[in-house]
Structures are given as C-alpha cells and as structure tokens.
Amino acid sequence: MKEKVKIGIISFEHMHALSYSKALCNIEDAEIAGIADADEFRGTQMAAEFNTKYYKYYKELLETDLTGVVVCTNNKMHCQVSVDAANKGKHVLVEKPFAVDIESAEKMLKAAEDNKIKIMTAFPMRFNSNVLEAKKLIDAGEIGDILCIIGINHGKIPSGWFLDPTLAGGGCVMDHTVHLSDLMRWFVNSEYKKVYCECGNLIHNKNIDDCGIVNVEFENGVFASIDCSWAHHKNYTIWPQVDMEIIGTKGVLEVKACAQTERIYNAKEETVGDVAWNESGDEGLIREFVDVCKTGKNPFVSGLDGAKAMEVALAAYQSAAACRTVEVEHIQI
C-alpha cells in the first residue's frame, strides 16, 4: 500500500478548519495525522471526530513527520504559526486573509523560500466551478477585454475573535475584501494601483467595521468595486454571497459563485432557507494542497497571491481613515 500524505491541522479557531478536515477525509491518499488546538475542549472533540491525535501545542505537532499543515488559527497568529511550520520543513496552507500586515506577510513568504517549502493561501473560490468557468470564458476572449468588475461578497457577521481587530486585523474589510480582490486580480491579470474605501460600524453595533465598499484601480486601468459588508441579517436565506459582474468590450459575465441552491420551507420550524447543492470549492482547494505536499509543485494559488489580496484590504483601511485614495503598498520579496 502506498503511504498516505500526512497533514496536520493547526487550530479550529477558524471554522473553515472543519470543512477542510472533512475534505481531507475524502482524499484517499491523504490523512489527518494530528490536530493542534490551544483550546483543549475543541481540540480533543475534533481529534475524536476525525479519529486522530490531539496536541495542545502546535509546536509538538510540528515535531512529527507531517508533510504539510493547514493553519486555521486567528488571523494574527497566521504569521508565527506559518513561520514555525516552514522552519520545520512543512508545506503550509494558510486560511485567508493571508496575514494582517505587510511585515508579517513578508516574513511568511521569506520563511517559505528559505526552507524551500510551498506556502499556499486558502482561497476556495479559486476552485469554485462557476469561478473556474468564468476564468475560462474570459481567457477564451468571450467577453473581450475586461473594462471593469463589480463585486459583492456579502455574508453574515461572524462572532468571537473575528470581532476583535487585534486578532482579526480588522472587521469586514479585512475578512471579506480578499476573496474578491484575489479573483479580480486573477481575472484582470494586472496589479493593484489605487484604493478608495468607505466603511464603518453601521448595522450590527459591534464596534467594528461591518459595512464597506472598496473601489480599486489596476495598473492597466481596469477599475472595480468590492462590497465586503457583513450585510446579511440572521434570517437571510443563505450564506455567503460571492457575485461578480464583469463588463467586457464584447459582453458581460455575471458570476454568482454560490447561486446553485434550492429552497426549503420547513413548516414545523417555521424557517425558510436556501441550501447549496454545488460544492463550494473547499474540495478542490484541499486536493491542490495535498498535491503540493506530494509533489512539491508550485500551488495554483500561492502565498504571494494571498499577500497581494491582503494589500487591498490594508490600503482600504488607510483610505477610509484618511478619506482619500491611497496607492497600494506592495510587498517586497
């Protein structure tokens, strides 16, 4: 029997760890070789669920013979954990946003390079079937050259550390700008130049930015807007919403990454909900990471991609504070 690729999960602080772990279970030649979580209760529970070993300290997990780790700590911790993992020669898949500041992102990328491991950003939307189809249509020239893109990534407000800027690096602008800023950069194939942002604590009264509009401009002149608001109230029928309206010289593409749903009316519970029947992208993301671990190839969506997407969120906060357009500060590596 061929040996399975051993992957460790570092923390379930970010709930995506759960869907990533489930996706890992569906990959024949991969196994979850251990789970580290500073929260003992959560960690042992998850280790039991995924039938693997629990570690209180992630550094102990890093001492084992893993090939790669999935980092789902709070955003602030991404840097330290990823650097430690890289120093132990493990490939790293880090949850988005890649980091919370330029300096951390640079450290992470450098650690990966120094240790000759691959660092990848968890952008599942890059593996979403609708998004992939859109990219194919764009590259085939079906809508001509892209002129501008209007994006919406609405969702419900998260809880816990997400609402603590010291751990999350910000509110909705940090949390929800990056999916779209990554996809747009990938579609447009140019780097970000300028950013303008209006945001604030407007609807949920949690003392953190929960609504935001980010206007961006690329080096090649294409412009775009990203609505990163946690705009959905609790009874909204679905989570999340990732939409793009892409205007090209020969046509328009409307992409709704999570549109494949059906509606359920539950009379007993008096609820109405839309459930997705399409796989969101987690599966492809995890499969890619396992491939990276197996072969050491360059990931389809890299750490640098994650860092570039984060630059937009950072510039957005600068813009909002100063009420002016700001030039995007680019990472130096």
Partner 1 sequence: MVNVALIGCGTMGRTHANSYKNINNANLIGVCDINMEKAQSIAKISGSHVYLKFEEMLENENIDVVDICIPTYMHKEYALTSMEARKHVFCEKPIALTLKDANEMVRFSEKMSVKFTVGHVVRYFPAYKRAVDAVGQGEIGIPKLIRTTRNQGFPKWSWEGWYMDYEKSGGPILDLIIHDFDWINYYFGDVERVYAQSLNGKAKEQDHCVATLRLKNGAIAHVEGSWAYPEGSVFRTTFEVVGTNGQIEFDSLKSCGIEKQINNGHHITSYLSPTAHSMEPYQAELREFINCVEADTKVSVSGSEAVKALQVALAAIESSLTGRPVTLKNYIH
Contact residue for partner 1 among 92, 211, 242, 315 (CB under 8 A)? 211
218 has which bridge partners? 192
- From 2-10, 24-32, 126-134, 225-233, give the range in contact with partner 1 by CB under 8 A: 225-233
* CA-wise closest residue to 152 among 50, 81, 255: 255
Q: Which residues pair with 94 in a beta bridge?
A: 71, 121
User: Which H helix or E strand runs over 311?
Assistant: helix 303-322
- Applying CB under 8 A, the span of 27-35, 97-105, 121-129, 199-207 interacting with partner 1 comes to 199-207
Comparing CB distances to partner 1, the nearer of 18 and 150 is 150
Return the sign of the alpha-carbon dihedral for residues 101, 315, 119, 156.
positive
Please identify, using beta-carbon distances, which residue of 108 and 313 lies nearer to partner 1: 313
For strands 192-200 and 211-218, give the pairing: antiparallel
Rounded least distance, CB 245 to partner 1, Å: 8
Minimum distance from residue 305 beta carbon to partner 1 (Å): 24
8-state DSSP, 163 = G
Residues 230-269 that bind partner 1 (CB under 8 A): 231-233, 236, 247, 249-252
* Residue in 196, 218, 289, 317 binding partner 1, rule: CB under 8 A: 196
82, 121, 225, 302: residue in contact with partner 1 (rule CB under 8 A): 225
> Between residues 15 and 213, which has the closer beta carbon with respect to partner 1?
213
Could you say which of 147, 167, 238, 259 contacts partner 1 (CB under 8 A)?
Answer: 147
Which residue stretch of 8-16, 55-63, 130-138, 190-198 sits at the interface with partner 1 (rule: CB under 8 A)? 190-198
Give the binding-site size for partner 1 (rule: CB under 8 A): 35
Within 19-78, which residues bind partner 1 (CB under 8 A)? none
DSSP of 234-258, one letter per residue? TT-SSS-EEEEEEEESS-EEEEETT
Interface region with partner 1, contact rule CB under 8 A, candidates 68-76, 148-156, 183-191, 268-276: 148-156
Tokens 């839309």 — which residue? Answer: 274
* Shortest reach from residue 229's CB to partner 1, in Å: 6
State the angle between helix axes of 16-25 and 40-49 in degrees (0 to 180), rounded to the nearest 10.
Answer: 20
Q: Binding to partner 1 by residue 215, rule CB under 8 A? A: yes
Say whether 314 sits in a helix, a strand or coil: helix
Q: What is the phi/psi pair of residue 74, to 5°?
A: -65, 165
Report the SS3 class of residue 214.
strand
How far apart CA 122 and CA 302 sit, in angstroms, is: 9
Window 294 to 323, contacts with partner 1 (CB under 8 A): 323
206 is a contact residue toward partner 1 (CB under 8 A): no
Select from 14-22, 111-119, 182-190, 204-212 the region that touches partner 1 (CB under 8 A).
204-212
- Sequence-distant (6+) residues with CB within 8 A of 67 are 5, 6, 7, 90, 91, 293, 294
Distances (CA, A) of 328 to 37, 188, 216, 229: 35, 16, 9, 21
Pairing state between β 68-71 and 192-200: unpaired
Q: Which residues bind partner 1 (CB under 8 A)?
A: 147-148, 150, 152, 194, 196, 198-200, 202-205, 211-213, 215, 217, 221, 223, 225, 227, 229, 231-233, 236, 247, 249-252, 323-325
